[in-house]
Structure 1
């Protein structure tokens, strides 16, 4: 299979004006730890409307799945004066194509959140979000590279441990893509997310952000209970990710409320 060339110029667009309860936030210590997985793992999860956005990797058709931890800082209304919140979060997502629109997007397998505000997405909007307690210990050098990136999550649904380090010499890996830009568009620029709501219905929401500026890093340790429990990636294989990327901070707009697709 040949993966198409993707160009940021075809995906970047001005920010749609926020209204209502739309949210503006900065995501600090934003990391994307990605694994190449057998697409069959998701046969019973992804609805027929979507197809997995696969690549050829190590002689097989594979789909990429990412663990995305970060700290929400300055989480607040994008429209009205409102208190700011800070909270740890990790998204578990796999990359798909919406066959109704041909848009490249992500399927959210679930999210952990460290905040009392979880009651809104979990119970009001029925998002597949779970309670967690986070601890980040991150230190950067004078050039902004991470001398230490440690994250630990305590959660009944998805305990996690992660340790990364970074230098200017860390190599890029974009095997399976025609070039680095295609790889970065795929991993960093899906603006629509879909998921099974807690009531079983199909839900979606959209975000906007400018081009992200992630750089490669090295994984020293990872232990994601969810990936091992569901037989997606064993603890042993979690130590050999497809790629690891970090950006110290970026800015997102989240368009709310999420929508239910009938």
Structure 2
């Protein structure tokens, strides 16, 4: 199996005009800690509508899953004057293909959020979002690289610990992809997300962002309780990620409300 070549020029498009309750925000200390996982481990997680978007890695077919922590800053309406919120968040996402549209997208196992505003996505829209308390301790050097990136999450659903650093010597890892750009498109540019709502129905929402500009980093410590509990990545293997990326800040638009789909 040869992974196809992906080009940003085929995926980038102008920002759709926000309306209604669409929101915009900046994601600070945006990290992608990605693991290569045996596809069979997702057998009871990913619905039949979706196909795992796999690569060949270390002699076997592997699915990729990312843990994505960041701090939402300037989270506000994209349309109207509105208060701005700041909150820690981590998304747990698997890269898939929607077999109805052939779009490359992500399947959200769930999200942790450090904000009272959790009541809206969790209870009004039935998203698989869970309460958490976050602590970020991040220090960057003059060139913006992270001398230290530490994050701790206290959560009944998905407690987490993370310690990363960055240097100019950190190398890109994209084994299984034909080139660096294909890896970057795959990992950083899915614009549609799907998930099981808390009531069991299939939900989706879309985002928009320009080309992201993360750089490689090194993992020194990781402990993601959710991945171990779901038998996706053991605590030992969590110390051996497929790749690690960090971007200091970027801008997203989120199109709301989420939709309910037929399975």
TM-score for the superposition, normalised by structure 1: 1.00
Aligned-partner SS, 1:226: helix
Q: SS of the residue aligned with 1:119?
A: helix
> 2: distance between equivalents of 1:83 and 1:65?
33
Equivalent residue number for residue 100 of structure 1: 100
Structure 2 CA distance for aligned equivalents of residues 258 and 228 of structure 1: 29
Tell me, yes or no, if structure 1 residue 37 matches structure 2 residue 58. Answer: no
- SS of 1:238's partner is helix
Compute the displacement of 1:68 (Å): 0.1
TM-score between both structures, scaled by the size of structure 2: 0.99
Structure 2: distance between partners of 1:126 and 1:229: 22
1:64 maps to: 64
Give SS of 2:184's match.
Answer: helix
2:198 match: secondary structure: coil
Give the distance between the partners of 1:113 and 1:166, measured in 2 at CA: 25
1:121-160 paired onto structure 2 within 5 Å: 121-160=121-160
The offset of 1:217, in angstroms, is 0.2
> Per the alignment, in what secondary structure is the counterpart of residue 122 of structure 2?
helix
CA–CA separation in structure 2 for the residues paired with 1:30 and 1:133: 17
Corresponding residue for 1:249?
A: 249
* Partner residue in 1 for 2:202: 202
Which residue does the alignment assign to 1:211? Answer: 211
Which string of whole-angstrom CA distances, capped at 9 and with x for unpartnered residues, describes residues 143-194 of structure 1?
0000000000000001000000000110000000000000000000000000
| d(CA) in 2 for partners of 1:116, 1:38 | 36
- 1:113-133 deviation digits (Å, cap 9, x = unpaired): 000000000000000000000
* Aligned counterparts of 1:40 and 1:129: Cα–Cα separation in 2: 25
Runs of 4+ in 1 over 3 A off after TM superposition: none
Residue 2 (structure 1) aligns with:
2
Distance in structure 2 (CA, Å) of the matches to 1:85 and 1:100: 36
Structure 1 SS opposite 2:123: helix
Secondary structure of residue in 2 paired with 1:181: helix
Which secondary structure state, in structure 1, belongs to the residue aligned with residue 16 of structure 2? Answer: coil
**Secondary structure class of the residue paired with 2:18:** coil
2:168 alignment partner in structure 1:
168
Partner Cα distance (2:233, 2:206) in 1 = 28
How many residues in Structure 1 have an aligned counterpart in Structure 2? 262
Offset of residue 47 of structure 1:
1.0
Partner secondary structure for residue 83 of structure 1: coil
Q: Secondary structure at the match of 2:135?
A: strand
| SS at structure 2 position matched to 1:87 | strand
Deviations along 1:202-244, one digit per CA (max 9) or x if unpaired, are 0000000000000000001000001111111111110010000
Give the match's secondary structure for 1:86. Answer: strand
